[in-house]
């Protein structure tokens, strides 16, 4: 059995194994077709449990960042585990409500909502908002004031919890060069805007950045963030955001949840008043539970390099410029992995003529044949969520696997999806 990284630059000391036996991979593709997203329920439960246990602070609420994956079956697993939902857009909230989350369990932390978006979220009875700018706070106050007392009810469930409004923090010394958030020097004006609207600023939201694996980068900002939060006179909760990374490179640095949780809990316990803590893992919670299975449909040679064509496309993975392009690729041929002479420099390509449709470049793979199966690992986050119809390929199906039992959780698209909403 051979495993391989999707790029030769990997410094992995030990290559990953395929996620399940070859007969199961064959059964899945025979049943549901190829390509296919496969989510491993047991691994997702294990990751949720590990992250939950890592932060002992008793007033902690975990909110899954559904921007990374909006499949209802997977959202329900988080709901059953006692997590809430972090919504980055109204669409995130919409999916969460339909997955069974109560409006009280949804925290909105996004940017640049228009009036219609704000009205929609309030109509759905979402009651926690971390706002991105003074102008967003001003608009929110106006919309809230207009809707208050009109007796509008949520379309799905009505909330009786009090409204919680927080600010997203922008401090270059802590958040780096970011477009998101409110500067500290703007806090007095923000407090005044909220007061005029009949609101209290009870929360502070801190966002470190996307996909950060350096635990120290989070720990070293805890005390400064807490000091800033205490300048809000009505402060009641700290949303320490997301951005927690995942080690896509085998053997690479992984975020240390236990170290982070111990330090954050210690600092919060030193405060003179009890503060609610909100943590929003996304990628860190779900990336590792999924693979994208694909079959080899073409093999050719350019000098000593093997060029392998597959029945999937880079459009089914996250945009490399946004969320990183590296993914480990593994396969199941009957070749001894310990024999370096059996491995060949290989480019794994998608089924379009897009010049950058590479799933992996300079992989070390054995000689492959048409029909062989490849598994692209760690696609649970920003996989299907960022899949597109680029070059007009319908998107794959999604399957949930529990031990050897499996079920369909999203149907495969056919070409008719390309006509949806078109008007002739």
In DSSP notation, 43-80 reads HHHHHHHHHHHH---TTEEEEEETTS---HHHHHHHHH
Give the residue ranges of DSSP H helices in 148-256: 172-175, 187-196, 215-219, 222-229
The pLDDT score that the predictor gives to residue 182 is: 95
Does residue 205 sit within a domain?
Answer: yes
- Given 286, 316, 331, which residue is the final one in a domain? 286
Does residue 424 sit within a domain?
Answer: no
The CATH number linked to 320 is 2.40.37.10
Tell me how far apart the alpha carbons of residues 3 and 250 are, in angstroms, rounded to a whole number. Answer: 11
Does residue 213 sit within a domain?
Answer: yes
Tell me how far apart the alpha carbons of residues 289 and 22 are, in angstroms, rounded to a whole number. Answer: 18
Instruction: Identify the CA nearest to 242 among candidates 360, 111, 109.
Output: 109
Domain that holds residue 266: 41-286
Residues 232, 185 share a domain: yes
Residues 256, 266 share a domain: yes
Does residue 389 sit within a domain?
Answer: yes
Residues 148, 46 share a domain: yes
Residues 47, 7 share a domain: no
Does residue 96 sit within a domain?
Answer: yes
Contact 26, 232 (CB under 8 A): no
Chain-centroid distance of CA 145 in Å reads 33
Residues 196, 110 share a domain: yes
The pLDDT score that the predictor gives to residue 152 is: 55
Does residue 262 sit within a domain?
Answer: yes
The pLDDT score that the predictor gives to residue 322 is: 56
The pLDDT score that the predictor gives to residue 369 is: 94
Chunked mean pLDDT (size 10), the chain, 424 residues: 35 62 96 98 98 97 97 98 97 98 96 96 96 97 87 54 93 86 96 96 90 88 96 97 86 90 97 96 96 97 96 84 73 61 88 90 90 95 92 96 95 97 95
Does residue 422 sit within a domain?
Answer: no
The CATH number linked to 195 is 3.20.20.10
Residue 261 has a CB neighbour count (10 Å cut-off) of 19
Contact 404, 424 (CB under 8 A): no
Does residue 420 sit within a domain?
Answer: no
- Given 260, 286, 312, which residue is the final one in a domain? 286
Distance (Å) of CA 411 to CA 228, 287, 377, 398: 47, 21, 21, 7
Number of domains in the chain: 2
Residues 340, 225 share a domain: no
Residues 246, 113 share a domain: yes
The pLDDT score that the predictor gives to residue 324 is: 63
Residues 379, 335 share a domain: yes
Residues 273, 129 share a domain: yes
Question: Which helix (H) or strand (E) element contains residue 365?
Answer: strand 358-365
Residues 170, 158 share a domain: yes
- Given 233, 266, 286, which residue is the final one in a domain? 286
What residues are paired with 363 via a beta bridge?
346
Residues 226, 132 share a domain: yes
Question: Which residues, in sequence order, are CB contacts of 382 under 8 Å at separation 6+?
Answer: 68, 69, 283, 317, 318, 319, 322, 323
Residues 181, 328 share a domain: no
């Amino acid at each position: 059995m051979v495993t391989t990284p999707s790029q030769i630059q990997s410094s992995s000391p030990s290559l990953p194994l395929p996620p399940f036996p070859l007969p199961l991979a064959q059964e899945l593709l025979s049943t549901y077709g190829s390509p296919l997203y496969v989510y491993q329920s047991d691994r997702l439960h294990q990751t949720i449990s590990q992250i939950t246990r890592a932060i002992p602070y008793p007033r902690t609420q975990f909110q899954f960042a559904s921007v990374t994956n909006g499949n209802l079956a997977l959202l329900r697993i988080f709901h059953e585990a006692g997590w809430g939902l972090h919504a980055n857009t109204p669409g995130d909230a919409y999916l969460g409500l339909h997955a069974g989350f109560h409006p009280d369990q949804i925290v909105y932390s996004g940017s640049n909502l228009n009036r219609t978006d704000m009205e929609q979220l309030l109509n759905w009875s979402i009651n926690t908002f971390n706002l991105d700018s003074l102008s967003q706070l001003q608009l929110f106050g106006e919309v809230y004031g207009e809707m208050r007392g009109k007796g509008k009810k949520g379309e799905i469930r009505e909330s009786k919890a009090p409204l919680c409004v927080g600010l997203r923090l922008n401090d270059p010394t802590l958040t780096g060069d970011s477009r998101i958030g409110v500067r500290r020097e703007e806090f007095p004006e923000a407090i005044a805007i909220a007061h005029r609207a009949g609101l209290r600023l009870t929360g502070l939201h801190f966002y470190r950045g996307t996909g950060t694996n350096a635990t120290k980068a989070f720990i070293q900002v805890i005390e400064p963030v807490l000091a800033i939060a205490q300048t809000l006179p009505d402060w009641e909760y700290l949303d320490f955001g997301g951005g927690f990374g995942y080690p896509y490179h085998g053997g690479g640095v992984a975020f240390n949840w236990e170290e982070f949780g111990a330090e954050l809990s210690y600092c919060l316990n030193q405060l003179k008043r009890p503060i609610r803590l909100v943590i929003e893992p996304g990628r860190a919670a779900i990336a590792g539970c999924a693979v994208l299975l694909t079959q080899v449909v073409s093999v050719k040679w350019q000098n000593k390099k093997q060029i392998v064509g597959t029945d999937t496309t880079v459009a089914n993975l996250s945009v490399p410029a946004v969320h990183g392009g590296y993914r480990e690729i593994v396969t199941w041929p009957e070749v001894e992995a310990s024999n370096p002479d059996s491995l060949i420099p290989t480019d794994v390509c998608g089924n379009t003529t897009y010049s950058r449709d590479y799933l992996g470049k300079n992989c070390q793979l054995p000689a492959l044949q048409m029909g062989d199966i490849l598994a692209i690992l760690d696609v649970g986050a920003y996989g299907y969520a960022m899949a597109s119809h680029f070059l007009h390929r319908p998107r794959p199906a999604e399957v949930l696997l529990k031990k050897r039992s499996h079920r369909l959780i999203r149907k495969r698209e056919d070409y008719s999806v390309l006509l949806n909403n078109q008007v002739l």
